[in-house]
Each structure stands twice: as structure tokens, then as C-alpha cells.
Amino acid sequence: MIAFLLSCSNPTADTAAPTTPAEVPEIPELESPAAQAQWSAADIEAAIAAALVDGYPDAGYLHTAYLEVLSHGDTTCPGHETYIDDTWLYGCTADSGYWYSGVSEYIEETTSEYEGVLIAGDVRFEDPSSNVFSIGGHAAVATGSKGGQRVTFLEISGSWIWQGDPTASWLAGGISGSQTTLIGRGDAMDMIELSGAISFNGVSLDFAELRLISMCDWQPVGVLSIRDPTGIWHRLDYGEECSACAQGSWEDTDLGEVCPDLSPIVETAASYLKEL
């Protein structure tokens, strides 16, 4: 049988492939066009202003929105006030008309060093008007002490959206990324430090330990980058001395001074500073 199969695999003289190789057309060489940024310094300032129109994404606000949507459930669907378990992976409808599906966790922890709340999940909820609340990640808020300062730590990870949100356009349109905010109150100064990347209101920002400092009238130090519609990242370097304006650049192109208004970030952090 093996010999028979081998003989079948060898073409006869009539069916053998031609020995003369076919001519292969030459592939033309193509030059990729050089990357071209779309935004000027003024465009960057306008984009950041539009993104921050309703403040900066806030993990504590995500907690509030999550609990508010869950508050429309009942004792059967989803059955809990702070989380949904795997009973309703494929969904259930509460008496209120809200629909719930997925799995989430609500974790509170208090130690001698800090107290915090973590919400994590993979869920999709809908209100009676079909507005979607969706989580694919987590949000954490914790307050404690670090280096002699009282600090609040905020973290947003993954994707969040609440289409029914009436006040925060950044949540109504959806956010995604992995970003942390550290808010500290000390005897000499208060400080807000942002690290990581996040996209919201159609704008993507990346923070390289950008710090806003009270003794500098909340002017920043560090680096903030923003991506324009072509995918090019523009770097705003504030240096190590507090300044309202950064040195803007992309690749080897100098954009000059860029002076975006970052005060909405400070305003978002203000309520946490009051509690420290």
C-alpha cells in the first residue's frame, strides 16, 4: 500500500510540471511617505481643552456611576447591591427595566496603613432606554500615608463607558487605558502626580510622572504626550522647573511653546485634597 501511494504521488511524463521556471515579475520598490503630524501647538491646546471640558477621568466617579446603575436592580436581578455574580452571565431584567449581565467584584479593605475600594469586572448593563454601562477592567481608590504625607491613590485600568451619564462626557463617550493619579497633601506643599496612558473624548494622553504642584501655583513639571489623528505622538516637556508652557516636539520637529490649560485636572483632584 505504501508503494502504491508513493507511486501515485509521482507525476507521469505527461503530467509532470514544466522544468523551465516561469518568469516572475519584478516587484517595484516603493518609498513610504514621511510621517506628517496634523497638529500645531494651537491644535494641541484646543484638543486638550476639548478633552477636559467635563474634568479629568476620576476612579472615584466611576465607583459612583457603577453603584448608581446597580441601585436600580432588585433582590433577584442582579441580587446584590455592589456586585453581580455568575448567576447572570447571560443577563437578567430587574423590575425597574434595567438589564444586567456579567461578573464583577466590589472589594473594600482597611488596614493600619490605608483604606480603599476596588471595583473590577467584565459586565454589560443597560437602562430602559438601552444606554449601555460597560466595564472591562478595574478602578481603585485608596487613601493612606506615604513619606510623611497623606495621599490618595487612584487607578483606572481597561475600558469603561456609561452612555447614560448626564454630566461626564468622558464617561458617556468611553475611556480606556491604564493610568494612575497620586494626590498628596504635606506641610510644605500639595501635589498631583499622573502616570500612564488614557484615551477619552477622542484624545489619547500619556503621562510620564507629570506633577502639578501647589507651591508653583499648580504649574506642571515632567512630560505629557498627546497623539494626533495620524497616530503621531507629540511630546510636551515641562522640564523640572514649574511652567505653564511646555517645549513641544514630535520626532525631530520643534513645535515651540505649547501652553494647554491643565486646571481641570487640579479641579478634579480638589475634593480628594480636602479629605486628606
190: pLDDT confidence band, cut at 50, 70 and 90? very high
Nearest to 123 by CA among 155, 158, 96: 158
Q: 188 falls in which pLDDT band (50, 70, 90)?
A: confident
**CA–CA distance, 261 with 259 (Å, rounded to integer):** 7
% of the chain with per-residue pLDDT over 70: 88
The residue behind cell 523640572 is 240
Would you say residue 6 lies in a domain? no
Domain limits at 105? Answer: 39-275
CA distances from 247 to 191, 224, 259, 265 (A): 22, 10, 9, 20
The reported pLDDT for the residue numbered 186 is 86
Q: Does any domain span residue 139?
A: yes
The answer to whether the beta carbons of residues 264 and 203 sit under 8 Å apart is no
Better-scored residue on pLDDT, 34 or 268: 268
Distance CA 127, CA 72 (A): 9
Residue 11 lies in a domain: no
Lowest model confidence (mean pLDDT) among 15-29, 94-108, 131-145, 219-233? 15-29
Total structural domains within the chain = 1
pTM attached to this predicted model: 0.85
Return the amino acid letter for 25: P
